[in-house]
Structure 1
Amino acid sequence: MDSIAEIRKEYMLKTLNEKDVERNAIQQFGKWWQEATSSKIDEVNAMTLATATPNGKPSARIVLLKGYDENGFVFFTNYESNKGKELQVNAQACMVFFWKELERQIRLEGTIEKISSEESDAYFLSRPPGSQVGAWASPQSTVISGREVLDANVLKYTRQFEQNPLQRPKHWGGYRLKPQLVEFWQGRQSRLHDRLQYTIQENKTWKIERLAP
């Protein structure tokens, strides 16, 4: 425990000031996103997605951002997975990006909705063939007897789709998080970090407030 407790890093790269940020949270995300992608961060679109059951039991996992705009932030998964089942009954969720190379974190809270079938179809057909087959082969989040179950399913669906065009399975598709709150975190020295919180208002403008670290 002593060695773990001694792990620490001083954050000193940048600052985050109200006068320098965009007034729109999505535009500020875009500003940081461009800096992150320009920095060649590995798996820059990896984010933690946190969901919860109706009685408040949380769960979290890493997923990949596949698009964003003023309407929200998009990712794809199996609708019958644990997260899919939780989102079906509790549409509140949170996303977190952590870009350690830039000493930055972005946290988004909001409601989740499925994207259109047409959007899901288009993205599915853009995926590599192996990933397309994988969406059919994996009964995500269910208990299986061993790896051979997946191997057999991959073989089955690979052979099946050699004869017929591959289509998106109905149990797989995209979700969009519509943010109501976005927090931008910039690491600072002595743990006195910069934190700016954007909250959406009824008139669709964003209220910006500084949070204590």
Structure 2
Amino acid sequence: MKEESHNPIAHFQQWFYEVEKAHPEDEVNIMSLSTIGNDGFPKNRIVLLKRFTWEGFYFFTNYNSEKGIAIRNNPLVSLSFFWKKAAREVHIYGKATKIPVNLSQGYFDSRPRGSQLSTWASMQGSKIASRKQLNEQLAHYDSLFRNKEIPMPAYWGGYLVSPKTITFIDHKKNDKNHHLTYCLQKNYHWIKQTHSK
């Protein structure tokens, strides 16, 4: 049965904070990002959710990384959360778009100095010969920006994933895998469908 519903971000917010409170030892913002690579195959990697709003879900990365290039060529992506101890999952399908530079800058400025340096030293998607090479690059940029504010690289920033469908799975409910899926309609209203598998 389908019916109109409130924005599912409120549902996600409730689950997110419930899991965070019940299992503070886990990183509740760990998520799997899936993209379609240039070779036509789907690829998954772990990224961190940095923010969520009524518009969607935010993460940051190197725009020239493999995932950045994949999103440039095909912005349709999926995000997945698996909270094992809470026996809950969330699956999100949507479109990724770059966020405005000033928003990326604001987040970059809030990062610890070591994290800022790593955006310069570690070029995601390119090969690094050894850990020694990475340490040398870190030392180089640490020296270059010593006693200075570290600028945000032009190739680094955030994405907003605007959801089209969001599925919530509660493995404990009624001793079955309880699925609740929200789908965004053309009029920007959400409908939902509940079912068990």
TM range (shorter): over 0.9
CA contact (8 A) 1:41 1:101 kept: no
Question: Aligned partners of 1:148 and 1:41: how far apart in 2?
Answer: 32
Using the TM superposition, give the Cα deviation of residue 28 of structure 1 relative to its aligned residue in structure 2, in angstroms: 0.7
* Cα 1:80–1:201 shift into 2, 3 Å: same
**Where do 5+ consecutive residues of structure 1 fail to align?**
1-17
The normalised TM-score by structure 1 is 0.86
The answer (yes or no) to whether the contact 2:60–2:159 under 8 Å persists in 1 is yes
Is residue 97 from structure 1 mapped to residue 81 from structure 2 by the alignment? yes
Counting only pairs closer than 5 Å after superposition, residues 91-170 of structure 1 correspond to structure 2 as 91-170=75-154
CA positional deviation for 1:23: 2.7
Answering whether residue 36 of structure 2 is matched by residue 48 of structure 1, we say no
2:36 is the counterpart of 1:35:
no
- When the two structures are aligned, how many residues end up with a matched partner? 194
Q: Write the distance in 1 (CA, Å) between the matches of 2:173 and 2:162.
A: 33
Q: Which residue of 2 aligns with 1:66?
A: 50
Separation in 2 of the partners of 1:141 and 1:50? 16
Considering fraction of residues, name the structure with more strand.
Answer: 2
Q: Per-residue CA shift, 1:60-87, capped at 9, x if unaligned?
A: 0110000011111000011111100100
Q: Partners in 2 of 1:202 and 1:168 — Cα distance? A: 37
Rounded Cα–Cα distance in structure 1 between residues aligned with 2:67 and 2:166: 21
**What stretches of structure 1 move > 6 A for 4+ residues in a row?**
none
For residues 188 and 31 of structure 1, what CA distance do their matches in structure 2 show? 17
Separation in 1 of the partners of 2:128 and 2:8?
A: 42
Root-mean-square deviation (CA, aligned residues, Å) is: 1.9
AA paired with 2:103? E
CA distance in 2, matches of 1:176, 1:118: 14
> Which deviations, in whole Å up to 9, do the C-alpha atoms of 1:130-187 show, x marking residues without a partner?
0000000001121121112211110000001114321111111100100000000000
Asked if the contact 1:52/1:58 (under 8 Å) is kept, the reply is yes
- Counterpart CA distance in 2 for 1:94 and 1:47 is 10
**Identity of paired residues, percent?**
36
Q: Is the 8 A contact 2:7 2:54 kept in 1?
A: no
> Which residue in 1 is equivalent to 2:160?
176
Query: TM-score, normalization: structure 2?
Result: 0.92
Q: Is the 8 A contact 1:195 1:212 kept in 2?
A: yes
Q: Which runs of 5 or more structure 2 residues have no equivalent in the other structure?
A: none
**Distance in 1 (alpha carbons) for counterparts of 2:58 and 2:147:** 32
